[in-house]
Amino acid sequence: MNEKIPVKNVAPVKVHKPSSADAAKSANRNRIYVRAVQGPLETFRRFFGFFFLALFALIPWIRFNDHQAVLLDIAEQRFTIFSLTLWPQDLTLLAYIFIVSAFALFFVTTFAGRVWCGFMCPQTTWTYIFTWFEKKCEGPRNKRIKLDERKMDWDKFWRKTAKQTAWVLVSLLTSLTFVGYFTPIDALFIDFFTFNTGFWAAFSVLFFAVCTYGNAGYMREIMCTHICPYARFQSVMFDKDTLTVAYDAKRGEQRGPRPRKLTHNQVKEKGLGDCIDCALCVQVCPTGIDIRNGLQYECINCGACVDACNGVMDKMGYPKGLISFTSEEALSGGKTHILRPKLLGYLIVLVIMIGLLLANIMLRVPLEVDIIRDRNTLYRETGDGLIENVYTLKILNKSQQTHTYTVAVKGLPDYRYTGEQTVTVDGGEVFSMPVSVATDAYNLEQAVTEIYFHVRTKSTDSGVVEVDEPSKFLYR
């Protein structure tokens, strides 16, 4: 107990603080004016974001078998995804989908940091769309700053009005498309613009339009830094080999301006690093952080600072990569280990969960039978001396095609069945009918006999589907 705990001296990290002028401009979070940047990462990020944006906009309009291919009808409690129809009874499939999504996010984050936030997150994509309209209406970063400092005049008024109009239109189209996943989209567009839509549909469109307008137009980085829970727990998945956007302090320090005519070797002789302290990496950051201060939870790994810094390094004649996607291990002089236990663990679990999801989809029976006993009378004796039980038989056709089913009873000898034995049920519909089963008391050896209602489709091109649903036949 008297053994001393070893103490390690850690040198304080020098934090680059903004100048007083920059601090005054950044005091209000709305004063983050993102500078446009060009580069391979930015091009790839735009392509990636707009690819999924195009999918989001087009999928509700796709038709499949004369119906909307993807329709998540909450009112009818029916989710249609092309040839697959999911019901509340298929909740396990939805749980598997969420689990697969979660482990895919864990795997990608452990490997490459918050690339989801920087390249695929809807908040990032819509924020870029809004800032693009802002740039087109109000000009580049410096002009936007000066425009906001000016008093209102005609030039400022029309520019602000044009920007706000574009924002409202994008928000409205986004909301209509989103709500179109939950209600038939063609009718939604027609009814909304002809003022014939229902209350809840109109309320949903306006509500999500306001949310889109507020999030992408004004909240922006607040969603990433204060509201989104992913920013808070991402560090749990990071390790020394995780690829993140990072600044090479050994190469960049001591930072400072210098004439371009100096060669790289002359700069080193003066004790300067490769960072010329131009602050472009801060100006292009959508969350307004300085990546030179080290890894920060606000960083969304968009790579904008990488492109900005590489452009400056090209102009100065220095090697690229002062800011890059790298790991803590590589920055300390080691070698990044791609295959490591933590990453492999996530991958194994992800593959297993994908396998279970696919197995559940493949083994899913597109037919469900529910038996409800008559609660008023346990059993009754008929005029010809038979013991009779009454049931309500419900047949749910979980497919999208119309099927004809035959009904029989198993487990009861010499029974008499009263009710329809052949029924036709449309795709996605529930057929309910009362039936009764009777038999002679001499056939009943105990008070409760377990029986099965056997429901079977007639032979089709997709094969035969049959279900045995258990129930009880009561006597005495």
Q: How far is CA 408 from the centre of its chain?
A: 45
Measured CA to CA, the distance from residue 302 to residue 249 in angstroms comes to 20
- Which of 173, 200, 219 represents a domain boundary (last residue)? 219
- 26 within domain boundaries: no
Q: Cβ-count burial of 347 within 10 angstroms (0-12 exposed, 13-18 middle, 19+ buried)?
A: middle
Structure tokens at 62: 């796709």
Tokens matching residue 365: 């029976």
CATH, residue 386: 2.60.40.10
- Angle, in degrees to the nearest 10, between helices 40-58 and 122-138: 110
Both tokens of residue 402?
A: 């119309």
Give pLDDT, residue 6: 61
DSSP H or E segment with residue 70: strand 70-73
Cα 464 to chain centroid, rounded: 37
**Residue 272 domain-assigned?**
no
CB 454 within 8 Å of CB 408 = yes
Which domain covers residue 423, as residue numbers?
367-474
pLDDT number for residue 378: 86
Would you say 400 and 73 are in contact if contact means Cβ atoms under 8 Å apart?
A: no
Residue reference for tokens 């690819």: 51
Eight-state DSSP code of residue 5? P
Reduce the DSSP state of residue 94 to 3 states and report it. Answer: helix
- How far, in Å, are 52, 255, 256, 274, 276 from residue 262 at the CA level? 45, 15, 13, 12, 12
- Nearest residue to 243 (alpha-carbon basis) of 187, 306, 152, 285: 306
User: Which one-letter amino acid corresponds to residue 352?
Assistant: I
Is there a domain that residue 349 lies in?
no
In a domain, 58, yes or no: yes
Burial of 276 (0-12, 13-18, 19+ CB in 10 A): buried
The residue from 189, 219, 249 where one domain ends is 219
Edge to edge, the sheet with strand 448-457 lists 422-425, 403-410, 448-457, 466-474
Do the domain assignments include residue 330? no
Could you state, in chain order, the average pLDDT of each consecutive group of 10 residues for the chain (476 residues)? 56 50 47 88 88 93 90 86 84 89 92 88 91 93 91 93 96 96 93 91 95 92 85 81 92 88 84 91 92 88 93 91 92 88 93 93 88 88 91 90 91 91 89 93 89 85 83 88
**Residue 12 phi, psi (nearest 5):** -65, 140
Q: In whole angstroms, give the CA distance from residue 282 to residue 299.
A: 11
225 found inside a domain: no
The pLDDT, as a whole number, for residue 11 is 52
Q: Flag whether 258 is in a domain.
A: no
pLDDT given for residue 23 in this prediction: 46
Domain count, the chain: 2
Six-digit token pair at 185? 């989209």
Final residue of a domain: which of 185, 219, 253? Answer: 219
Q: Show the tokens assigned to 56.
A: 């989001």
DSSP state, residue 450: E
With respect to residue 442, please indicate whether it lies within any of the assigned structural domains. yes
Burial of 32 (0-12, 13-18, 19+ CB in 10 A): middle
